[in-house]
Amino acid sequence: MIFRASPEEFNPKFEVVSCLVEFDGKILLLHRQDRKPQGNTWGVPAGKIDEGESPINALLRELKEETGIVITESQLAYFDKLYVKYPEFDFVYYMFHLKLADKPSILINSTEHKTFEWASPEEALEKQLILDQDFCIKLFYKI
């Protein structure tokens, strides 16, 4: 379950960053490898924040590692901080947005993802998404 404010008895085990990478009205979706947690689902570029790392630096690293996209901090727009409670663990989830003027070349990290696709927010919602990704897309795009 996702919360906009920290819920009672919230005990985060880690923090995650994610980014809605947008070009020409479409967002970048990555298809997770089967063996990964929640394998064979689609999601946006995301990953855990390493110890001592800021959310921004974690996102810059994750974008490069997962997609080959290299940008500067000034290109990112911070959107929201969410609080996620699952039965197994809690975590903090930072959402960012990156609107690109030029379509980037995507270099998929094949150990993590099978492929990628550009999809409108509405098309993305029709896919088998990683848990709660639909909530985040709807929240950002006000769908």
Q: Read off the pLDDT of residues 37-64 as tens digits, 9 standing for 90 and up.
A: 899 999 999 999 999 999 999 999 999 9
Report the distance separating Cα 36 and Cα 39, nearest Å: 5
Q: Which residues of 52-86 are buried (b: 16+ CB within 10 A; e: fewer)?
A: eeebeebbbebbeebbebebeeeebeebeebbbbe
Task: Name the pTM for this structure.
Answer: 0.95
pLDDT digits (tens, 9 = 90+) for 7-39: 999 999 999 999 999 999 999 999 999 999 899
Give the CATH architecture of domain 2-141: Alpha-Beta Complex (3.90)
Q: What is the pLDDT of residue 57?
A: 98
Average pLDDT over residues 99-121: 96
Residue ranges covered by each domain of the chain: 2-141
